[in-house]
Amino acid sequence: MTTHIDICVYAPAWLQRFLTERQQILSALGPLADACIIEHIGSTAVPGLAAKPIIDIMLGLPVLTDITPYIPTLQTVGFHLQSQMATAMPERHYFAKPAAHPREVHLHAVALDSDFWRDKLAFRDALRADSHLAERYADLKRKLAQNHGDDRAAYTDAKSAFIASVLATAFGKPHGKRAAR
């Protein structure tokens, strides 16, 4: 199923939604919660940045497989494992809430020492630190939503050069040396 990509004006309610979801995740994880870090990532985590109105949450685990016994509990609070994504994303477990479109929340469970963890935080932090960079990214996303509004894969792929450039700067490496994840 394809859904149209809509880029919305920043909504302060996105932070509150993240905090509510974070608490539900922590409750679902029980004793594992003390070993985890939960971060708000993606465009909704950058104050003032236009975004798709989907809250992206990253759950950092000491070891990715630590999440396995807690998957049923996460499902009871509305997070549905997208097992069809396992081949494309073997370094993470991907959950969506609700199960059907339109989605409101994405949960990415990853290992704390993974490239995915480091890259998502570095990109978010770079956008938070530089309002001009964030505005350039918002402009790009609006343009790509117009050009690829019904093709999420093309939209995501078209952002990859910008993301790779930001990460290269963040990590002090020449452009193109670190793949966008």
Q: Under a CB-based contact definition with an 8 Å cutoff, are residues 3 and 145 in contact?
A: no
**Is the overall model pTM greater than 0.85, yes or no?**
yes
Domain boundaries 13-170, corresponding CATH code? 3.30.460.10
Phi, psi of 30 (to 5 degrees): 50, -125
For tokens 């073997």, the residue is 90
b/e sequence 120-144, b meaning 16+ C-beta within 10 Å: bbbbbebbeeeeebbeebbeebeeb
The SS3 call for residue 108 is strand
pLDDT by position in tens, the chain (length 181): 456 899 999 999 999 999 999 999 999 999 999 999 999 999 999 999 999 999 999 999 999 999 999 999 999 999 999 988 888 888 999 999 999 888 999 999 999 999 999 999 999 999 999 999 999 999 999 999 999 988 888 999 999 999 999 999 999 865 444 444 3
